[in-house]
Amino acid sequence: MKAEKLRWSGAHLLFIAVMLALGEWLTANRWLDPTFVGQPSGVIKFLWNNIATGKLWVDMGWTMAGTLISFTLGSVAAITVGLLFVAFPKVEKFLDPYLNAMNVMPRIALAPLFILWFGLGLGSKIAVGCSLTFFIVLSSTVAGIRGVSQDHVTLCKTLGASAVTTFFQVTLPGAVPVIFSGLRLGLIYALLGVIGAEIIASEKGLGQSLSYLGSTFEVNGVMALLLVLALLGVSVVRTMTWLEKRLLHWQ
């Protein structure tokens, strides 16, 4: 197993090295214009400088703070509202068309309004991130609870379990897998919302740097930050998968 894993890692490293060398060669010979696509050596140099000066860490810190805060607020609110909907289906029925309308609206369109309301700082980023996370987690919470095994509920009824016991013993654990997949998606969308809002208007963050570098034709910097964002996304997903494996080992 271990040797197999090592071989795969080796293959990936080789592939990346070949791609980088190819890129370097194509741009050095002007087959591709580095003004538009950047140059691997330039990207590495940019990353190195920004890591050294600490600028990258500061940007990443702002973006991650925005993402985590909006994810937390959005999910807590969504799970609360979701539980409320299951307890009072009439409330859900009444609010459904409005929520639907809000959900299908491209939420990033709210960014200008949120920036007006909450300023250029973290507040407006959190507002956009929340607005994305909330609806995803809400629908998965409702779906998760509705999808709980009716056999389990029947069993609880015949045992004479109280509503509280049924909820904590059966409903909640049964709904966790579906809620969790909503949370995973919610976290990715929180990152999307925060980056989007930063690109539109911000003082700090990876999105703001990206927007600035793009408008000053610093393509190496844009490529470097895209790479950072991809790695950030991967590590976010990996963390959620790890957490899921620990929490839902029974699946």
Partner 1 sequence: MDHLSGPPGLNAPLAIAVDGLDLSFDGSSKVLSDVSLHIRQGEFVSLVGPSGCGKTTLLNLAVGLVPHTGKGSIHLAGAVPVQGNPQVGYMLARDSLMPWKTALGNAMFGMQVRGVPRAQAEERARAMLQEVGLAGFENALPKALSHGMRQRVALARTFAMGSSLLLMDEPFGALDAQTKLQLEDLLLRLCQQHQQSVLFVTHDLSEAVAVSDRVVVMTSRPGRILADIAIDLPRPRSIRALQKDPHFHELYAQLWTHLESGWSKHEG
Residues 250/183, Cβ–Cβ less than 8 Å: no
Q: Which of 12, 157, 238, 245 binds partner 1 (CB under 8 A)?
A: 157
Q: Which of 98, 158, 164, 246 binds partner 1 (CB under 8 A)?
A: 158
- Total residues binding partner 1 (CB under 8 A): 19
Q: Which residue has the tokens 């899921």?
A: 244
Beta strand extents in the chain (DSSP E only): none
CB of 181 to partner 1, least distance (A): 16
Q: Which of 5, 52, 160, 246 binds partner 1 (CB under 8 A)?
A: 160
Cβ proximity to partner 1, 156 vs 228, nearer residue: 156
Q: Which of 61, 123, 173, 233 binds partner 1 (CB under 8 A)?
A: 173
Residues 11/193, Cβ–Cβ less than 8 Å: no
Is 161 a binding residue for partner 1 by CB under 8 A? The answer is yes
Cβ proximity to partner 1, 84 vs 176, nearer residue: 176
Is 164 a binding residue for partner 1 by CB under 8 A? The answer is no
| CA-atom Rg of the chain in angstroms | 23
Is 199 a binding residue for partner 1 by CB under 8 A? The answer is no
Angstrom distance (rounded) from CA 2 to CA 6: 6
Residues 144/179, Cβ–Cβ less than 8 Å: yes
| Structure tokens, 161 | 């379990």
Cβ proximity to partner 1, 169 vs 181, nearer residue: 169
Site string for partner 1, 89-128 (x = CB under 8 A): ----------------------------------------
Angstrom distance (rounded) from CA 124 to CA 11: 43
Q: Which of 32, 169, 212, 214 binds partner 1 (CB under 8 A)?
A: 169
Which residues ranging from 136 to 155 are in contact with partner 1 (CB under 8 A)? 149, 151-152, 154-155
Angle (deg, nearest 10), helices 55-87 and 172-200: 140
Cβ proximity to partner 1, 104 vs 164, nearer residue: 164
Residues 6+ apart with CB under 8 A from 126: 66, 69, 70, 73, 118, 194
φ/ψ (deg, to 5) at 231: -65, -40
CB of 32 to partner 1, least distance (A): 52
3-state helix, strand, coil in the chain (%, to 5): 85, 0, 15
Interacting residues toward partner 1 by CB under 8 A: 149, 151-152, 154-161, 165, 169-170, 173-174, 248, 250-251
